[in-house]
Structure 1
């Protein structure tokens, strides 16, 4: 009788049984196994064919080995593996087998197969969710932490090295020890106390912190209290470094419970339940599984049917009764979940399934299986809590957060993205990210997003078009990650519109300064040129005036190039020196044929290096043109400028008559004095050769000082 009940329950639970006659090789499959394999009900394969349903490779070999051991050694087995059905569908199954021996020789092997695809998919989904959150944490540029109500740190993310100056294990202390005595910090500390007291999140605030290495940083703090039984037990929060407004991302801490190991057999019970026309009911069979599931015996349930009903919690009792009533009236399959409280006080979630059958007297009978799905329910609730916590953290991050697919549509965004563009998260999932960027910026943005997918990271400043139609300047960054077979870019964005507008205003002012300086120098140069024109060609004062005009031109040319360029601190040296050499030749009106060979790399040099270099080369060119070729009809001047990683190298030479080296070292003329002074200003190392020529080779270090620095 019991075997019949169990067989019927197995049918309800989609559990099939099989048996192998070792001597004959005949393999029996129940209808449930055929259904599981999507095979005809009269399908009866041999052992090899049955094993070939398992995934090819290691899994199939493993099954063959297990069956061989069962036959040869009588070893029982339990395994979980994938099969490919007759229709090509993939399913996960749990197979249980046991060998029967007679006279020391295995005669039969029998067992069950159960479809566990749903449970496996739940586990894979949980793993994917965990991996997604872990990837978010590892790629975040935000520090996350947790502390108790006494301010003791319970957890710090790995970013503590960047935020606090030391790894997590070295800073697990009261977090307030990092807070400086800056007056603004008092407001932040009050908000922490208020969050602990009320259990309600407080607005974000700023703190000044001192790292373990003494460095002072400013951070933006976003916190939320964790409340249990109406009392705040801890605070979770995040720090965003607002000192340099660089990277921002999010981290979420995860708390997950592991699924309870599935027992070799069904973790539950089976029973036969009959409801009579007068609404009375009885259990005619209850399996031993009721002891573990409900903490009562089969005999107690048969004697007192209300025992199981009484364990159903009040909020679910009416719902379960109604589902049974509907199943009886419509003779449809019964499938219901509810929560119980056992005699020991344990709360469990139960999943019941059964198919009704109407008896001759009008009663309805169910052969039913009840399974403990508490672990699955907790997993669902835990994943739901994690997703909710992740979304709350993302929404609390200042600025934009986004996760972009390879087709440039959004996989995930925070509320700030939705607010900026007035689009829902569903609408954003079908929106191409480039469509939200100003058209003139899209090519660059597309290239940099592609760089993030290929190289793993990229950043840019771009312009977004908000729902208001206005342009908003944003600093954006993104890191490439892989989730399964899919690739994404996770990134954040900070509004820098105010900074950009300030820079544009400064640009106009600086351009005007360079323009006016150039004009003023041009006026001075023009006055000196008029004086020069009034002097006779052989007047001794002409040389001094010509040199002065060229010196002014050397300085004015720098300001002219800066005015014409988009940069106000970097000068194209090749263009500058070429124009300077032409000016010197034209001003001095050289008598002979002088060939100037310029070999200058494409170098962008700081203004604080360009002006002294230009004046120095002006003096050298002037000396060569006026004095080097007095006894020659033609001459050659060579200039070579090479850029190295940390310094510049300049080689200047002419093939003139040369002069006494002592004249250079003792600076016997104003021109040579200026040359040596400018070499000192550049902090240059130099070597000269004055034998039948003049050659100077000097090097000087690159400077990072901008146009506002001291020359």
Structure 2
């Protein structure tokens, strides 16, 4: 029996049965289908044994008998079990040749149709699944003919469009599409028919049966026949009317907001959180000294790169609270770096205005307002209040000092005056009068110093001007050259040559003289004085430091009264206890402060904290 490559490729084998000899012959393909070796010799009994069930075997036996006895041909499909135990589906056919009304030869084909059967099952299952999805879908679905007629619709589509299923079947999609959207829809529709595109998606408007507009998201694909002709379109229609209304209302709200903002000279920002893209208006950039072109490419990092490092946590924390819905909107204040290097105070407000269906933030809007002047005025007010409070404390202290000192002198006067009339001895009278003169001189000196302190407390006749601090130190060192040379002191002026302060020339000279002369006056007996005069800065102060290697001060013992009037801490005959008291009052009168670090036998460092020029105006009046 001959077979060819076509038989093998088509999985169609042939068989012959010689009725006269009882010999059954299978070609190579039949043996291949049964998963047999080529040397296998079949018989009728063995052949029937490959069929899977008893019922099938009986049916094959019946067909074979009828074929041989009557010549009735057959073509039927059966399930077999191969020599290797695999299950297959085959299509068997049988025909007969007769001679003198007696069958002499039976023959036929055997075709492996397992793939086709599996495909049919899969297609049937797919159709069943599609039918279930089609009917139970939460969105509208329809099968649409190439002419646009609704062939079949699910239960949701009539609900969306207001028509019954029977009414929709009589309509085309063109009948219920908004005229302004029809041409675009038809264009896509034709492109799919012409195989230019496989599918399309668009937003469109349908006309509801009651006449109002239904916004929908339409997704369309096509099903082709085996002859590659269009069978029908599958249309998926999602009602987005409410989303559209919300979006339009949001746009109107944004427009009103932008108009209000433009009139208020406020910067705006719009952050698409999903894409992490940001839109700023011109005013937003102007607040920090830029144009929008200068800030390109614009992103969220454009903002974050300008926020003061110490303030970055402030907006970040507020945004996190909005994301977690802990707060509905936020308002906070922080600093941003201006193009000129200064820091601009910003009032930042933000609100998430759009969320996804899963509760994820999508869009956030906000404003920036420049509040630098307001913050400056607030700082001025705080400085003024602090100054008034400090002056009140100093004046109260001054009152106590004045009262104590004057009572002391007056008490001595009163006592001596009471003794004078009753003293008979002229020599002792003379001594009493000398004591009275000394007390009078001391009283005059006390009144002088108290008046000087009072002038400091009340800032009388105080003139503030720009002073080169390096030059001022040099001038004082020149004036003290004799004292410095006599003590063999070494003084280093480490102040930057170009540093300027806004200060009273009289006060800074007095402060420098007091602190430098103290450093020399209280030098350590075992070494020559070495004095370093330097400057460091922070956001609020220029800090003038005068460090020496002198005797040092026991701050545990004397720290609380270090700057008190008439307080001395070393056995120096020239010590009056006024220098540090006056220095402290002079420094504090201009909104500053004075601090000290000291170790006995090591030395002292006095730190004069001078307000930066932009802070001084509010502190001095």
- TM-score (norm: length of structure 1): 0.29
- TM-score (norm: length of structure 2): 0.32
User: Which has more radius of gyration?
Assistant: 2
